[in-house]
Chain A
Amino acid sequence: MRDPDFHHALKIVRELCIGCTHCMNICPTEAIRVKNGKAVLIDNRCVDCGFCYRVCPVNAIIVEQDDFDRIFEYKVRVALVPAVMTGQFADNITTRQIHSELMELGFTHVYEVEQGVEVLYETMKEYLENRKETKPLISSFCPAIVRLIQVKFPALVDNLIHLKPPLDVSALDFRRQLAEQGYDNNETGIFYITPCAAKIAAVKSPVGEKNSPITGVINMNFIFNKVFTRIKQRKGNSCIIPETRNLTGRAIMWSLTNGESTHTGGRSLAVDEIHNVINFLEQLENEEMKDIDFLELRACDESCAGGVLTTANRFFTVERLKKLAARAGDGVTGNKKDNNMIERAKTRLKKQIPIQPVRPRSMLKLDEDMAEALRKMKRVEEIGKCLPDVDCAACGSPSCQSFAEDIVQGYAKLNQCVFVQRIFEKKGILSSEESFSIMKEVWGSDKLDKNC
């Protein structure tokens, strides 16, 4: 069954794609195939982790963002910026400088996503306490992980924490604050500067909530280039001074690896990079690991510092944010006005922070009906015996196993396998001309019209 409203931010541009299989081979959920020489995405398997985007040698995979000029449709134009944005820049460029450049670009307000952390923090502590018997509770911070669990680890959906991430909490809080200041909610556009595709997908089709409080999403690398150029030209003399509320150290570190797990108490673990997460969850499902209270799982290596839309080296980003966090210190800022604001937000948002339980959407099942699934599985195994187990991907599927499944599901034909072709040719049931035209169907003519 397919989710009708399942949005993907990742798009493959057919005209640019050269069908090189890099993306197909790295995809952690086997969501890519090659057909007619082009990569195609299987919608209900993709979790928007963006690993394909990273490896594409010709930039044929794009992350669809909102047109920047959309911000000008709103009177109040809020940029919601995550802390890793500051981490994109060298130490001598301050957060304030970056934010003031954002205002020069046309935003009327700049807020940091992690302002929501302190609001969320208390709610989360209470939540963890109340659901102590569920082990482990899994953070729903990273939307790629939430989707991964839905499609690949359906038995773990109930372990997900049903609370909004800081991004949504902040957006709600700022909407409320602006409304209190007399701004019309319909004239307020909140634009999130995203480090990844997963967050875009989460905003466009949220899991566990009806709609997102965020109006649009703009890619961090796009904004980085604009801001960086301006800072260079101006040599650090920006004019507008944005109002800021200082983040706590905890908030600055929240989106990085161990950002949550160091504050959740009990036995808490952090795992980053999606392939690592998959291995970990495989073991967890067998209950090989008992007595873990809390799991922080992030799709990117070094978490959001390694988001696919970041520009800076992730290790430098972490280094910079660590320095900032050390200076800020933990706990609430000590500023009375800030503390009051957080207190107020907590009470107001209490009801809005929880989300609905997350539904499983298993991509693994061969069929809804078990009898049919059993028949298909038998077929998969029979086909598997004919295949060479070299996972060469020349058939257009990422592995012999996935190819066998594709055949049974009607998406591929056995004679697409180059080894099977040779066997069939030897037996005289397939001519080399026929093999050739089958390969053209998979790989397009470019790769085969060569003069060798």
Chain B
Amino acid sequence: MHYEYAIEGGNFSKAGLASSEVKKKLRQLNVDNQVVKRVVVALYEAEVNIVAHAYNGTMNVEIDEEKILLVLQDSGPGIPDIEKAMEEGYSTASPEVREMGFGAGMGLSNIKKNVDHLDISSEIGKGTRVEMITYINRGR
């Protein structure tokens, strides 16, 4: 199954909608609860990062019996130092964004913790691509 969702930069009231849709699909597919939980947390963080840090983007979801592949591609400022961005607590979020309860700097590290494979590539001034894979039957 393949799904694509558009993500609007700066629109915090809509942040999380695409993740919720994907969660519903995974539940319908009877994917293990713990796997759903992990995928949804990672997806949500990645979605919010586009809303908070980029201009706009897309979320592509590919589900088969083995794995869930998630690709989030945005056009935005890009990440100059990915390694640094991955550090817990590192954030460039504006005070306004923090005011809204986002921007604790835990997003990327949280993603890393929750998926089996993570690949981030970024081009300054152009955008960022986050690819995540979660295997469905691992550890079961």
- Interaction A to B: yes
Q: Are A360 and B33 in contact (CB under 8 A)?
A: yes
Given contact pairs A155-B36, A286-B16, A287-B44, A374 touches B23 in the complex (Cβ within 8 A) = no
- If the complex has contacts A286-B41, A288-B16, A371-B65, are A362 and B27 also in contact, measured as CB distance less than 8 A? yes
Do residues B28 and A365 form an inter-chain contact, with CB atoms below 8 A? yes
Residues on B with C-beta less than 8 A from A287 are 40-41, 44
B44 touches A286 (CB 8 A): yes
On whether the beta carbons of A285 and B40 are closer than 8 Å, the reply is yes
Instruction: Tell yes or no: A283 within 8 A of B by CB.
Output: yes
Cβ of A93 under 8 Å from chain B? no
C-alpha spacing A33/B130, complex, angstroms: 42
Within 8 A of A (CB), among B93-112: none
Enumerate A110-132 residues with CB–CB distance to B below 8 Å: none
8 Å CB contact of A377 from B23, B25, B41: B25
A365 to B30, CA, bound (A): 5
Size class of the B contact interface (CB-based, 8 Å):
20 to 34
Beyond A155-B34, A286-B41, A287-B41, list 12 extra A-B contacts (CB 8 Å).
A286-B19, A286-B20, A286-B40, A288-B44, A365-B29, A366-B28, A367-B30, A370-B29, A370-B136, A373-B30, A374-B65, A377-B28
Residue in contact with B1 in the complex, picked from A283, A288, A367, A374, CB distance below 8 Å: A374
For A, the interface residue count at a CB cutoff of 8 angstroms equals: 22
Q: Pull 12 A–B residue pairs with CB atoms less than 8 Å apart, ordered by A.
A: A155-B33, A155-B37, A286-B19, A286-B41, A286-B44, A287-B44, A365-B29, A366-B28, A367-B30, A370-B136, A373-B28, A377-B1
Do A370 and B65 touch (CB < 8 A)? yes
B27: nearest residue on chain A (CB-CB)?
A364
A368 interface residue per 8 A CB criterion: yes
Closest residue of B by beta carbon distance from A360: B33
Q: Flag whether A245 is at the interface (Cβ < 8 A).
A: no
The verdict on A282 contacting chain B, using a C-beta distance below 8 Å, is: yes
The 8 Å CB contact of A366, one of B16, B29, B65, is B29
Give B residues with C-beta under 8 Å from A. Answer: 1, 16, 19-20, 23-25, 27-31, 33-34, 36-37, 40-41, 44, 63-65, 136
- Collect the chain B residues with CB atoms within 8 Å of residue A135's CB: none
CA distance A377 to B27 in the complex (A): 11
Give the complex CA separation of A378 and B64 in angstroms. Answer: 12
A155 to B36, CA, bound (A): 8
Nearest first, the 5 A-B pairs at minimum CB distance are A365-B30, A364-B27, A155-B33, A286-B44, A373-B29
Bound CA span A283–B20, Å? 8
A interface, CB within 8 angstroms of B? 154-155, 282-283, 285-288, 360, 362, 364-371, 373-374, 377-378
B1 and A285 within 8 A (CB)? no
Interface of B is mostly: helix
The distance from the CB of B139 to the nearest CB of chain A, in whole angstroms, is: 16
Minimum Cβ distance to chain B for residue A341 (Å) = 42
Please measure, in the bound complex, the distance between the C-alpha atom of A179 and the C-alpha atom of B125, giving whole angstroms. Answer: 78
- Taking a contact as CB atoms under 8 Å apart, the answer to whether B28 and A364 are in contact is yes
Given contacts A285-B40, A286-B44, A377-B25, contact A370 B16 (CB under 8 A): no
Query: Residue A154 contacts which of B1, B16, B33 (CB distance < 8 angstroms)?
Result: B33
B22 to chain A, nearest CB (A): 10
Using CB atoms, name the residue of chain B closest to A283: B16
State the Cβ distance, A376 to closest chain B Cβ, in Å.
8
| Closest CB in chain A relative to B140 CB, distance in Å | 12
Q: Which residues of A contact B16 (CB under 8 A)?
A: 283, 286, 288
Closest to B136 in A: A370
Bound state CA distance, A364 and B36, in angstroms?
A: 13
Closest to A287 in B: B41
Q: Are B31 and A370 in contact (CB under 8 A)?
A: yes
Nearest B residue to A371 via CB reads B65
CA distance A374 to B30 in the complex (A): 9
Report chain B residues within 8 Å CB of A373: 28-30
Query: How far does the alpha carbon of A125 sit from the alpha carbon of B53 in the complex, in Å?
Result: 42
Whole-angstrom CA separation of A377 from B23 in the bound complex: 14
Chain B residue, CB-CB nearest to A364: B27
- B-side contacts of A374, CB under 8 Å: 1, 29, 63-65
Query: Do residues A365 and B27 form an inter-chain contact, with CB atoms below 8 A?
Result: yes
* Complex alpha-carbon distance, A282 and B29, angstroms: 18
Residues in B whose Cβ lies below 8 Å from that of A371: 65
Q: Are B33 and A285 in contact (CB under 8 A)?
A: no
Q: How far is the CA of A68 from the CA of B57 in the complex (A)?
A: 63
Q: How far is the CB of B101 from chain A (nearest CB, A)?
A: 8
The answer on a CB contact under 8 Å between B28 and A285 is: no
